[in-house]
Amino acid sequence: MDYVKLINCMRCGMCLPSCPTYKETFLETASPRGRVALIRKLQEGELDQSERLLEFLSLCLDCQACASACPCGVNAGELVAEFTCEKKSESGLGFMEELILRKLVPHPDLLETSMVPMRMYQKSGLQKLVRTLGVLKMFPKPLERMEGLLPTLPPRPLRREIQEVTPAVGSERGTVGFFLGCVMSLIFSDASRATIKLLSMLGYRVITPRNQVCCGAPNMLGGDLEGLKEAAHTNVDIFGGYSVDYIVTDCGGCGAELKKYGHHIEGEAAAAFSSKVRDISQVLALHTEELHAKLKPLQQKVTYHDPCHIAHCQGIRKEPRDLLKLVPGLEYKELEAADACCGSAGTYNITRPEMSDRILQRKLDTVRASGADILVTSNPGCLLQLKKGLADQLPAVKLMHLTEVLALSMSN
């Protein structure tokens, strides 16, 4: 770990009000400043590694809200993630981590096959019965949480049905590569279908390589830096085989990770790959006039939740808002603390249910106060978390991906 990154913290405390875990606990050890200090003391050998200390570090969501607030460029979330990776490289992956991160996640075919039982569970009506009878209460809590978060799966993953080349509508202005996020393809395929449609309507030929693999974000989350590097090498090689203007993604988490490939692995190819990565909102925002001409009225009130991986990790805030404001009739209402984490954070909502629920509750309260009919966001983790939260507390509010709103307005 780069020691300089640790000593850059001048302990001003400006990051504290933006940290979700500090807001819930008011504990210095659960704040960005405290986490940086803990890692520093560990590195300097002034503290011994204890379970309690690791507990405070692992309570971090890696939302990186602290990085947006810090005047010194300190990123406590990233430092905690790096620390976790270092610890993991010393201890090695556990059996289940090895199985999931190395044997399952990097293989889209296997990943898709692993979802077949879930699809059957839903299609057969068993899920409805299990939920009605409350059977899951008899199973371990994490299993109950996972089941509760799972929305209705589409009949097929998008990767299995999307054509490798989607032609441009009208005259072709360029070619983009489309990065299919695993969760987007498996669960939110309608949103990615809308993304591809928008790109092609704007004159882009869209190439979606079928052999692309997971971006590696789950590996990073699990402290598996080697697994992340393998994913990066594979994707850089695959997309390097096409001549594209941009590599577009509609998944905030994937975009944040893909943009860091140039940092994770050496070589010009990785740097070139990362320099071409764009969140879909960045590409659509280049064509607002054309889009505006195609959009038809939607008489609804909308608000937007900034995914941490889009706002804090990629610095994209204006584009999604500008795009929503393009839709005629759509009343835009800014959400209070729109860029505060929703508590999803990868598997945090399963491993840290109590803290995750507290953070989610704050978000739901702001959505309720906004009075919006539609809540928009652009990251699968947020979509999963907010879908569950809205279903439980605000069932009248519809949750949509940004591209679904624009495609809906276009087809009205």
Among 15, 180, 194, 327, binds ligand SF4 (CB under 6 A): 15
Instruction: Tell whether residue 407 is a contact of ligand SF4 (CB under 6 A).
Output: no
Q: Compute the least distance from the CB of residue 85 to ligand SF4, in Å.
A: 15
By CB under 6 A, residue 36 contacts ligand SF4: yes
Q: Which stretch binds ligand SF4 (CB under 6 A): 58-66, 83-91, 131-139, 233-241?
A: 58-66
Given the complex with ligand SF4, which of 38 and 248 has the nearer CB atom? 38
Least Å from the CB of residue 35 to ligand SF4: 5
Query: Is residue 307 close enough to count as binding ligand SF4 by CB under 6 A?
Result: no
Minimum CB distance to ligand SF4, residue 78 (Å): 8
Q: Looking at 5, 6, 21, 249, which residue binds ligand SF4 (CB under 6 A)? A: 21
Q: Which residues contact 325 (CB under 8 A, 6 or more apart)?
A: 332
Q: What's the length of the chain?
A: 412
Binding residues for ligand SF4, total number by CB under 6 A? 28
Other CB atoms within 10 Å distance of the CB of residue 185? 25
Helix-strand-coil split of the chain, %, nearest 5: 60, 10, 35
- From 9-17, 102-110, 313-321, 373-381, give the range in contact with ligand SF4 by CB under 6 A: 9-17
Kindly state the smallest distance separating residue 182's Cβ from ligand SF4, in Å: 23
The binder of ligand SF4 chosen from 6, 32, 162, 314 (CB under 6 A): 32
When asked if residue 27 is in the footprint of ligand SF4 (CB under 6 A), the reply is: no
Should residue 135 be labelled a site residue for ligand SF4 when binding is judged by CB under 6 A?
A: no
From candidates 7, 11, 58, 129, binder to ligand SF4 by CB under 6 A: 11
Indicate whether 381 belongs to the interface with ligand SF4 (CB under 6 A): no
Please tell me the distance from the alpha carbon of residue 366 to that of residue 176, in angstroms, as a whole number: 36
Q: Are 184 and 191 in contact (CB under 8 A)?
A: yes
> Is residue 217 a contact residue for ligand SF4 (CB under 6 A)?
no
Say whether residue 402 binds ligand SF4 (CB under 6 A).
no
9 binds ligand SF4 (CB under 6 A): yes
35 binds ligand SF4 (CB under 6 A): yes
Helix (H) or strand (E) holding 112: helix 108-114
Q: What are φ and ψ of residue 302, in 5° steps?
A: -125, 150
**DSSP-derived 3-state class of residue 158:** helix
What is the C-alpha separation between 327 and 312, in angstroms, rounded? 25
Binding-site string for ligand SF4 from residue 65 to residue 84, where x marks contact by CB under 6 A and - marks none: xx--xx-x-x-xx-------
Instruction: For residues 23 and 17, give the distance between their C-alpha atoms in angstroms, rounded to a whole number.
Output: 7
Bridge partners for 115 per DSSP: none
Cβ nearer to ligand SF4, comparing 20 with 223: 20
359 near ligand SF4, rule: CB under 6 A: no
Helix orientation angle between 225-240 and 76-91, rounded to the nearest 10 degrees: 110
User: Do β-strands 398-401 and 374-377 pair in parallel, antiparallel, or remain unpaired?
Assistant: parallel
Q: Which is nearer to ligand SF4, 192 or 356 (CB)?
A: 356
For residue 6, which phi and psi values (nearest 5 degrees)? -80, -40
Beta pairing class for 174-179 and 331-332: unpaired
Nearest CA among 273, 241, 245, 246 for reference residue 260:
273
Contact 391, 149 (CB under 8 A): no
In the block, residue with structure tokens 């009506």: 125
Per rule CB under 6 A, is residue 20 in the interface with ligand SF4?
Answer: yes
Residues contacting residue 362 through CB under 8 Å, at least 6 positions apart: 20, 23, 337, 340
Stretch that binds ligand SF4, among 8-16, 127-135, 222-230, 358-366 (CB under 6 A): 8-16
Is 252 a binder of ligand SF4 (CB under 6 A)?
no
How far apart, in whole angstroms, are the C-alpha atoms of residue 263 and residue 341?
25
Residue number with CB closer to ligand SF4 (33 or 363): 33
What residues line the site for ligand SF4 (CB under 6 A)?
9-15, 18-21, 32-33, 35-36, 60-66, 69-70, 72, 74, 76-77
